[in-house]
Chain A
């Protein structure tokens, strides 16, 4: 109980800093997820009907995810210097796989009869894609975007180690001062706000998914 009330007073005392870090965190996540979504959907559409390209793209995106995050962040420092850019590039590469995978799966799930009838009525390939195939794959693509967002919110905490900002700074500064006053409070602040941020962004996306999915596709 005592620890909890001490944490609350820590949060109260540092509220402005926390909000600032949260906003910085959100900014990183949003930029990364938006770019990764655009990139992955375009790539997914391009590779969907090309078996070789498809296998390669999905494997490469999978390999990115297996590279330990700290190492990947550091790898880009020589290229992009320190700060947010190397962190965002690494996060972008992580965010690709779920969206790419789901784009391809979503397009796969469109019934061939529906595409056949679209073509048979005289829709061009672009019209088939924009009016039929993507709208039908959309709920699955959005599910991928939500996974990538949650993942990015969590991994973005490491950005601080390559000079970036965000809520990771509370965790890092706490960990380097363990044993000193407020060190644990600082770590917990980072963790709790990252989790809350993840839940918030996921709910926002869930709502967006619902609003952008045709009523005819809802279960």
Chain B
């Protein structure tokens, strides 16, 4: 395993002189090629210190750091850092350099030719959504916070490093811009496949950004490391449970798809059917609501017995609105949201052509959650059995 890891920390520790307790205690951690590993934990747990041990901004006092299987614990730290992109919360753009010069920092140090550097700078500016012709000659003071952080990311990508270290990169940005930057960054990563270690104190950001999450306790001890869905489904101990907080089950619904549920059959009627036949079907099924479909099988309204029996105009103008509908790609989180808005207490699923497929009801939803929890638990039991 460890030889395949892009980054391998082997019992890495940091003890500051004059302190009896280590800041990071013997941490062993693999970061796989092309993944975003999020280090998350309460303040003071040593997650930033851990990140800074990887590019040796802080020198470890014990253990080894391997990149691509190569021991870099004793390598020249400046050369090491030029291979690793580094983004910090305060960004730290050079105010006396233009945007283009900032992005060219590492290529220039590596001795790239002028043409290659300026080509790379233009490419990166376009990638992060800052048109070169407009922004190339601007200075950092002329940028908004969000734009500055985009330049910070572009600068870290300057010499196309395989590895990026990001220390709360979106922490100082307003929530709306942060959300946009996170989405942009995930889109970018889908093309670039960098190996990324990302530090945050915000569990929601960790869930959103991480392929895997390491939840760190005191002295940077790993309490749980896994995919976000498995951590949400099965927090291994009270510490993790407390840290991910209330609503973790609901957050976990983000990772379950509507397609994973068996669509339950649901009584329907069509605009052409006599209301009395529909009422009979409703009573037969012992249900309260049915879905009114048009000629092509597309859902129109929610109807109950009362709506069907009253004699007031065409069926499609009676009953309750359906609102938004789900397709099989939507998450169960979206299903839940529509469910609580719906008149009948369940949300409607349609296929690609908008035809009715069934409804998502609460029992199916909780069954899916329990199934995910059971799978995660089994996974951990197997791990434990393997280790013992």
Contacts and interface: CB of A to CB of B under 8 A. Distances in A.
Interface in B133-185: 139-141, 152, 155-156, 158
B81 interface: yes
Nearest to B86: A120
Interface stretch (B9-17, B92-100, B264-272): B92-100
Nearest to B79: A122
B88 A120 contact: yes
Nearest to A128: B78
Given A121-B105, A121-B106, A136 B92 contact: no
Contacts of B92: 111, 113-118, 120
Contacts, number: 73
Given A113-B91, A216-B96, A122 B139 contact: no
A189 to B, nearest CB: 44
Interface in B71-114: 78-83, 86, 88, 90-98, 105-106, 109
A84 to B, nearest CB: 38
A119 B105 CA distance: 11
Contacts of A136: 95-96
B55 interface: yes
Nearest to B92: A117
B343 to A, nearest CB: 53
A132 interface: yes
Contacts of A111: 90, 92
Contacts of B78: 122-124
B192 interface: no
A215 B94 CA distance: 12
A28 B183 CA distance: 63
- Name the prevailing secondary structure of the A interface residues: helix
Contacts of B21: none
A127 interface: yes
Interface residues of A, number: 21
Contact of B97 (A119, A121, A214): A214
A217 B96 contact: yes
A135 interface: yes
B57 interface: yes
B91 A120 contact: no
B97 A127 contact: no
Interface residues of B, number: 29
A215 B79 CA distance: 30
A214 B91 contact: no
A122 B140 contact: no
Contacts of B57: 116, 119-120
A123 B77 CA distance: 10
A173 to B, nearest CB: 49
Contacts of A118: 92, 94
B96 A113 contact: no
Contacts of B156: 121
A119 B81 contact: yes
Nearest to B80: A122
Interface of A: 111, 113-124, 127, 132, 135-136, 214-217
Closest 7 CB pairs between A and B? A117-B92, A216-B139, A113-B90, A122-B82, A214-B96, A122-B81, A120-B86
Given A122-B79, A214-B96, 18 more contacts: A113-B92, A115-B92, A117-B92, A117-B94, A118-B92, A119-B81, A120-B57, A120-B86, A121-B105, A121-B106, A122-B80, A122-B82, A123-B78, A123-B105, A123-B109, A214-B97, A215-B139, A216-B141
26 contacts: A111-B90, A113-B88, A113-B91, A114-B92, A114-B94, A114-B95, A116-B88, A117-B86, A119-B57, A120-B55, A120-B57, A120-B81, A121-B155, A122-B81, A122-B106, A123-B78, A124-B78, A127-B109, A135-B96, A136-B95, A214-B95, A214-B96, A215-B139, A216-B96, A216-B98, A216-B141
Interface of B: 55, 57, 78-83, 86, 88, 90-98, 105-106, 109, 139-141, 152, 155-156, 158
